[in-house]
């Protein structure tokens, strides 16, 4: 598949319009890295500046991570995650948000 475009699909249902779909990459021996996230309501993509090789597409309830010109440097496990936007202000203490769901996708081998 080197040089080809890869699309990894994440299908969601029953999510609110204020939710976001996040795409992550996990390479062996490295920390989890967020690549980009997409707004559920408008499909607006916000990209991590270091992840310019990745794109996203939204079609109804399907959110695709697009990898143009795949090569061995993209060998990784990819995750999508969904959670609500939030705007806690003046919060004290620590907070943790549990992922609503996740999907994993194995490397391109």
Which domains are present in the chain? 6-84+101-105 (2.60.40.10)
Stated pTM of the model? 0.75
SS (H, E, C) the chain: CCCCCEEEEEECCCCCCCEEEEEEEECCCCCCEEEEEEECCCCCEEECCCCCCCEEEEECCEEEEEECCCCHHHCCEEEEEEEECCCCCCCCCCCCCCCCCEEEECCCC
> pLDDT tens across 52-83, in order?
889 999 888 889 999 988 888 889 999 998 88
């Amino acid at each position: 598949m080197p040089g080809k475009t890869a699309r990894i699909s994440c299908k969601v249902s029953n999510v609110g319009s204020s939710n976001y779909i996040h795409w992550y990459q996990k390479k062996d021996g490295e920390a989890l890295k967020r690549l980009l996230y997409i707004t559920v309501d408008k499909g607006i993509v916000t990209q991590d500046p270091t992840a310019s090789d990745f794109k996203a597409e939204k079609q109804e309830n399907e959110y695709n991570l697009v990898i143009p010109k795949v090569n061995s440097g993209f060998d990784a496990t990819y995750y999508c995650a969904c959670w609500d936007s939030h705007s806690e202000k003046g919060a004290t203490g620590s907070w943790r948000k549990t992922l609503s769901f996740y999907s994993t996708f194995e490397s391109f081998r």
